[in-house]
Structure 1
Amino acid sequence: MEFTHGTPCWMQVEFNDLDSGTEFFRRTAGWEIPPGDPAMGGYAIASIAGKPVSGIWPVPAEESEPDAIDVWISVDKIESALARVKELGAEVIAMDGVEIQQVMELGKQVFLKDPSGAHFGLWEPITFNGIDVMMVPGSPFWFEHLSPDPATSAAFYANAFDLDLVNHGDEYWTIKVPGAPADAYGFAFPQQDGNTKATWFVSLFTDDLDKSADLVRENGGTADEEFVDMGEMGRFTYATTPAGVPYGLWEANLDGMD
């Protein structure tokens, strides 16, 4: 799959307990997860039917960081994209003192914190574009940025990547690539009580929300029992991993989203 400049291309799940975390997504999302590559700090690429779907990162013990799901945005030229987001208030989270990292022959990346405090990455592909499977159970379906000020966050990303910003009312915004038939990603207030921290949020596709929610609960996670009726777009529920990382499950009516 190819991704337009300024749109999400990759997700990465970060685990403190690697064995428990990977087993959770194997059982609930059907991910195939190989052993991590020692040359990449234990990094692994999860797949569905052999196609890349998510990065898997074991959090180094000395970092004491919580489990998380992060999102990478595809860019045409990482140097100019980095300069632009820094100009608009993003801060680089340097890895080993280096801003832009070359990831073997795969691509170039930089990890940042946007003005709202949410972490995100920029990815310039060389031989690896990112997610290669969508619209199948367990694959990423919709990306959202949640923050206490979604309008400001939406404007940051629209300005950073020169994309169109659409307001849908009820404090919800989407980014749209000019000329594209569908929106690329959304911006909203955090929906769960007590959660005011800005973060990226990923919803996974499911063709059976009841079954997927049950699997999450059976494997130590949580899933709201009251599903959200999205009308023609299907049904949705909030879920968390056993470590408490939030994500979504979306039984999408693809015909209703044309």
Structure 2
Amino acid sequence: MPTYDEPWPQGTPCWVDCQVDDTSKAREFYSGLFGWDIQDSPPEAGGYLMAMKNGTPAAGIGPKPEGMPVPSAWTTYFAADSADDIATKVTDAGGRTFMSPFDVLDAGRMFVAADPTGAVFGVWQAKAHTGAGIFNEHGAYCWNELHTRDYERAKDFYTSVFGWTYTEIGDGENFRYSTFALPGGEVIGGIADDTTMLGEKPPHWLTWFQVADTDAALVKAAELGSTGGTVVTGPDDGPAGRMGIIQAPQGEVFGVIDPTRTVGQFPGQQD
């Protein structure tokens, strides 16, 4: 069971949470789907819920900001040694912050921003809460990827902010996709060129949760989502695993994947 109890290296996807209208309904859906033990936080946390897996923080669920008509969505947070320093880098590189960095009780310091292509992400400077303590496990996040229409601009932005380096695994034409890593480090996520795939959907960061059985997870999501949740795509097989996309009852979208069931190779791979 991969676990982590230290602050994540700067630029690493370190936490995911979703903002919804009704946290009670979200608690019911996600505890049923992933087996999360979803716990209440102290009253001063404003109704934020902590999803635990095997006694370790896996994700968060919170109410939408009061008075802000935003869609329900999952947010990917990147670790920062200093949220204030990263906020400056975001604006210098052409992104925008939605608020100045602020303290979250004694848990950490954060802000939410959008990259120049319009995709929203969070930045987390760990204090008492170091981020996800479990990953690459059934019911825990295992991958975060950007879907954007401005592929090269997005890559330049995140290199300026976090120092990412890229490895192209697509064919450069029909499938443009890069994995990203910290300098000298392991691969930690991906960026997809969705110029012809997004349709009317805006650029976004997509959170993927690992599951032991993709087919069973999609069936369960459909059952739990009988009041509005749907299976958007899948199950589909590919080089990364057997996967599907789910829209939860309140509208937030996420992926599920069994990475042990791979089929074929990425275009850039060789036999």
Settle same-fold status: TM greater than 0.5: yes
Give the equivalent residue in structure 2 for 1:122.
Answer: 123
Q: Please say if residues 151 and 171 of structure 1, whose CA atoms lie closer than 8 Å, have aligned partners that are also in contact.
A: no
Q: Please say if residues 233 and 246 of structure 2, whose CA atoms lie closer than 8 Å, have aligned partners that are also in contact.
A: no
Q: Please say if residues 16 and 61 of structure 1, whose CA atoms lie closer than 8 Å, have aligned partners that are also in contact.
A: no
Q: Unaligned regions of 5+ residues in structure 1, if any? A: none
Q: Please say if residues 144 and 202 of structure 1, whose CA atoms lie closer than 8 Å, have aligned partners that are also in contact.
A: yes
Give the equivalent residue in structure 1 for 2:268.
Answer: none
Deviation at 1:192, TM superposition (A): 6.1
**How far, CA to CA, are the matches of 2:233 and 2:45 in structure 1?**
39
Q: Please say if residues 146 and 199 of structure 1, whose CA atoms lie closer than 8 Å, have aligned partners that are also in contact.
A: yes
**How far, CA to CA, are the matches of 1:208 and 1:192 in structure 2?**
26
**How far, CA to CA, are the matches of 2:168 and 2:259 in structure 1?**
22
**How far, CA to CA, are the matches of 2:114 and 2:13 in structure 1?**
15
TM-superposition CA deviations, 1:231-250 (whole Å, max 9, x none): 3x321111111122211010
Deviation at 1:130, TM superposition (A): 0.2
Deviation at 1:62, TM superposition (A): 2.7
Alignment of 1:140-155 (within 5 A): 140-155=141-156
**How far, CA to CA, are the matches of 2:197 and 2:210 in structure 1?**
20
**How far, CA to CA, are the matches of 2:32 and 2:57 in structure 1?**
17
Question: Which deviates further from its counterpart, 199-208 or 117-126?
Answer: 117-126
**How far, CA to CA, are the matches of 1:186 and 1:112 in structure 2?**
18
**How far, CA to CA, are the matches of 1:45 and 1:18 in structure 2?**
11
SS at match of 2:57: strand
Alignment of 1:1-258 (within 5 A): 1=4, 2=6, 3-94=8-99, 99-169=100-170, 170-180=175-185, 182-190=186-194, 194-220=199-225, 221-224=229-232, 226-231=234-239, 233-253=240-260
Deviation at 1:174, TM superposition (A): 1.7
Q: Aligned-residue CA RMSD in angstroms?
A: 2.2
Read off the aligned partner of 1:35 and give its amino acid letter. Answer: D
Deviation beyond 6 Å, 4+ runs, structure 1: none
Q: Please say if residues 118 and 204 of structure 2, whose CA atoms lie closer than 8 Å, have aligned partners that are also in contact.
A: yes
Q: Unaligned regions of 5+ residues in structure 2, if any? A: 264-271
Deviation at 1:61, TM superposition (A): 5.0
Q: Please say if residues 73 and 121 of structure 1, whose CA atoms lie closer than 8 Å, have aligned partners that are also in contact.
A: yes
**How far, CA to CA, are the matches of 2:70 and 2:201 in structure 1?**
19
Deviation at 1:9, TM superposition (A): 0.4
**How far, CA to CA, are the matches of 1:125 and 1:238 in structure 2?**
30
Q: Please say if residues 72 and 122 of structure 1, whose CA atoms lie closer than 8 Å, have aligned partners that are also in contact.
A: yes
Q: Please say if residues 16 and 60 of structure 1, whose CA atoms lie closer than 8 Å, have aligned partners that are also in contact.
A: no
**How far, CA to CA, are the matches of 2:202 and 2:48 in structure 1?**
26
TM-score by length of 2: 0.85
Read off the aligned partner of 2:126 and give its amino acid letter. Answer: P
Q: Please say if residues 234 and 253 of structure 1, whose CA atoms lie closer than 8 Å, have aligned partners that are also in contact.
A: yes
Q: Please say if residues 15 and 68 of structure 1, whose CA atoms lie closer than 8 Å, have aligned partners that are also in contact.
A: yes
Q: 1:82–1:24: structure 2 CA closer, same or farther, 3 Å change rule?
A: same
Deviation at 1:228, TM superposition (A): 2.4
Q: Please say if residues 241 and 262 of structure 2, whose CA atoms lie closer than 8 Å, have aligned partners that are also in contact.
A: no
